[in-house]
A and B are shown apart, each in its own frame.
Chain A
Amino acid sequence: MQAYLKLDHIDKTFTRGSATTEVLKDINLTIEKGEYVSIIGHSGCGKSTLLNIVAGLTGATNGGVLLENREVNAPGPDRAVVFQNHSLLPWLTVYENVKLGVDKVFARTKSRAERDAWVIHNLSLVQMAHAKDKRPSEISGGMKQRVGIARALAMEPKVLLLDEPFGALDALTRAHLQDSVMALHQKLGNTILMITHDVDEAVLLSDRIVMMTNGPSARIGEVLEVPLARPRKRLELATNPGYLKCRQRVLEFLYERHSFVEAA
């Protein structure tokens, strides 16, 4: 098994003045090409920090990230991020937001016309080409997140990092967008690492679910394979024994063995 993305003995300690907090301890994970892996855990367990380390936005204290056997420790378009709150630039149109990344990544390899077509192509993938001249303030939350996904996809990343991408959306929009991401994964075969706190979302979308223990010093508690055939259908899965079993396993982990301490 060839490791495509490898998280190698990652520790992360935050130091503020004389106080140090160990957030992550000895995180090891290998992800294959084309795999969809979710990281789930209670809030504050450091899963977003872990994603930021993979993205290169935060440095690891020890250990490192290997992408195709090369260490990556700075942010780059090969690990494009879909941010939780979309993070579209409000002064640019939908088209310009996607174009910003495309112009940088394909500055030498694509002509102006090709880049334009590529932006439109990626907006069409998320069904947003119709709104290309709108500004972020003129479209709904779900649409913004679609554009965020298009922006990340358009950079042709080796790994797509999703940081609770559906967290800020209402349940119906969320389901709709989850289906879109599933379809895109099916079609393009991206390698995806997703942070989530939603059990159903993790089971529905992932090939593997990485469950984190509570912080401080969060570790990987358990990794669950989701042996469900793709394409997956939300409605059929609702009564599928395999789905329910996976769901049960994650719930047990989160609420019995590692229930959120502060919630009490």
Chain B
Amino acid sequence: MSMPAMKTEVSAVAIPQAAAAAPVVTMTPKRAPRAETYAKMAKETAARAVPPLIVVALLLVVWELICRRAGSSLPPPSKVFKDTRELILDPFFDNGGIDKGLFWHLSASLQRVAYGYSLAAIAGIALGTLVGQSVWAMRGLDPLFQVLRTIPPLAWLPLSLAAFRDGQPSAIFVIFITSVWPIIINTAVGIRNIPQDYRNVAAVVQLNPLEFFTKIMIPAAAPYIFTGLRIGIGLSWLAIVAAEMLIGGVGIGFFIWDAWNSSHISEIILALFYVGIIGFVLDRLIAGLGKVVTRGTAAN
């Protein structure tokens, strides 16, 4: 926590030295700005990292104070850490069945999300393009989408279990059906908002429909598409934990449910921490990808 602050002081000291050497050779002053840049960067990093760290520390203290009393229903952070030490330190053990390290649970969940979400991204962008491009497709499909998208993810689970007769494809289907709607709707809006100018350019150059799709539609609608993809990944991660609680097997959702059944409250808390961190990373991953892909479009 105090590391960045210390760095700032060190580089702040370095500046006057470089500046003092400057008058002799005209080229040397270039060094001073670089040291200044580092100092500035360290300062900015510290300014962004320190406040959340302080808040987290305060929360931990409060939590510890509240839960350390005897008879408290939830364990304090110190006990959580003590109880789950082994799970934290060895996430890779595998004793067969569902008695595995957290890494295996998380990777099983991530795999399901990867399948379901990839399908949703492909189908969502395709359907969104159709609905955005064709007035009749919109009139026909949009009301249907508006109704279907309000159905809670878990409400689909019994139906998909009945259809697939297996947990794995059912979970993937639930991920798919949860994350596909925002992708469809945002893609459609993006396609509908493509400026007429771009369509005119494509017409004059005589792009064929496939070239128009890849060279004009997708890049022009990319900012909207990525908004949809980002909402979609968040929803998938929300849905998977709930779905896995019901389908069982290896997966972070069932790990939580299993811990509850064996009254390992500390393990639940650790699992929640991991779920949160991974959800955050997934969100940032899609946001970062979107930033790279749309750097041209958004600038205009």
Contact = CB atoms under 8 A, between A and B. Distances in A.
Interface stretch (B201-209, B230-238, B265-273): B201-209
B130 to A, nearest CB: 22
B17 interface: no
Of B201, B207, B219, most A-chain CB atoms within 10 Å: B201
B162 interface: no
Nearest to B195: A87
A85 B201 CA distance: 12
Contacts of A100: 201, 205, 207, 215
Given A87-B197, A91-B219, A91-B296, A55 B205 contact: no
Contact of A87 (B201, B211, B219, B299): B201
Nearest to B294: A91
Nearest to B296: A91
Interface in A69-108: 75-77, 79-81, 83, 85, 87, 89-92, 100-101, 104-105
B164 interface: no
Most chain A beta-carbon contacts within 10 A, residue among B195, B200, B222: B200
Interface string A146-167: 0000000001000000000000
A81 B200 contact: yes
Interface string A38-57: 00000000000000000111
Contacts of A57: 200, 203-204
Main secondary structure of the interface of B (DSSP, over half): helix
B197 A83 contact: yes
B297 interface: yes
Contact of A85 (B197, B216, B220): B197
Given A75-B206, A77-B205, A155-B205, A92 B296 contact: yes
A87 B296 contact: no
B299 A77 contact: no
Contacts of B215: 89, 100
Chain B interface: which size bin? 20 to 34
Interface residues of A, number: 24
Contacts of B220: 89, 91
Contacts of A91: 219-220, 222, 294, 296-297
Interface in B177-227: 195, 197-198, 200-201, 203-207, 211, 215-216, 219-220, 222
A62 interface: no
A87 B200 contact: yes
Nearest to B219: A91
B296 A75 contact: no
Contact of A135 (B197, B205, B299): B299
B204 A77 contact: yes
B300 A80 contact: no
A136 interface: yes
A193 B213 CA distance: 31
A57 B199 CA distance: 10
B207 A136 contact: no
Contacts of A56: 203
B105 to A, nearest CB: 40
Contacts of A90: 296-297, 299-300
A248 interface: no
A77 B206 contact: yes
Given A90-B296, A101-B205, A104-B211, 9 more contacts: A75-B200, A75-B203, A75-B206, A87-B195, A90-B297, A92-B296, A100-B207, A104-B205, A104-B207
Closest 4 CB pairs of A and B: A91-B296, A90-B300, A87-B197, A75-B203
Interface of B: 195, 197-198, 200-201, 203-207, 211, 215-216, 219-220, 222, 294, 296-297, 299-300
Interface of A: 55-57, 75-77, 79-81, 83, 85, 87, 89-92, 100-101, 104-105, 135-137, 155
